[in-house]
Structure 1
């Protein structure tokens, strides 16, 4: 029972972070446009990553597809983390490192889900 609650908490945290960023990506918020312009991927990278994040978030919340969603989320977040480290910087537009922190949290929740789901499928 405790393990089930922990897994659901990981799912909700990761999916919640992914869902939260969709509004900014799909509405063309100034910060999102700036980020993807700096990466040389505006607007297609912004919209494409938003679609990938939407798919990952939905898959995370469906127990049968959690492993797939968590794997996709890990890949997306590795891209976000590397973008922050190598191009954008840890602080974007005076956010105090919030976007970078959210990427780390989402990555670690998703990575933990990958580990737990793979372990569960072997039993």
Structure 2
């Protein structure tokens, strides 16, 4: 069995800084999603209508909020930090997708696209955490599948 090298301290510091950013960013917006803030309701109404589910704003908004809370928790637990980074990146990929292809647009509030820029940065931070903690992620894969991957965990 191959021994996995320890993550260098500088990489761990970067991973933790990125993880703290992700958790802060995602949890900051929960106050809007979970309380039904009019701006959040507005955005999710546009999306639910566009997706063909008029009136589905609230369940959609709450579902996204709950997923963001879960990603925030996972990224702050040392043993699940890599998975949390991937989860956060996936959520932010969805946000980027909806901002770019739906009527929501990149700048729905006319503020220079702050939400879109934050989603892009948080997406990159999630990928960074996942890359630094890739050995954690690979350890979750069955041995036979991990052996077939074209790269090795550092």
- Unpaired runs of 5+ residues, structure 1, are none
SS in 2 for 1:18: helix
- Deviation readout 1:67-122 (Å, 9 max, x if unpaired): 12111111111110011001111111223211001100110000111111115663
Return the match for 2:40 from 32, 50, 54: 32
The ranges of structure 1 where at least 4 consecutive aligned residues each deviate by more than 4 angstroms after the TM superposition are none
Return the match for 1:69 from 84, 100, 111: 84
User: Residue 94 of structure 2 corresponds to which residue in structure 1?
Assistant: 79
TM-score (norm 1): 0.93
SS in 1 for 2:111: coil
The count of aligned residue pairs is: 123
Between Structure 1 and Structure 2, the one with more helix by share is 1
8 Å CA contact 2:96–2:119 kept in 1: the answer is yes
8 Å CA contact 1:14–1:105 kept in 2: the answer is no
Distance 2:111 2:76 in 1: 28
- Report the Cα offset of residue 5 of structure 1: 1.4
User: Residue 105 of structure 1 corresponds to which residue in structure 2?
Assistant: 121
TM-score (norm 2): 0.75
RMSD: 1.4
Distance 2:101 2:39 in 1: 18
Return the match for 2:31 from 23, 30, 33: 23
User: Residue 146 of structure 2 corresponds to which residue in structure 1?
Assistant: none
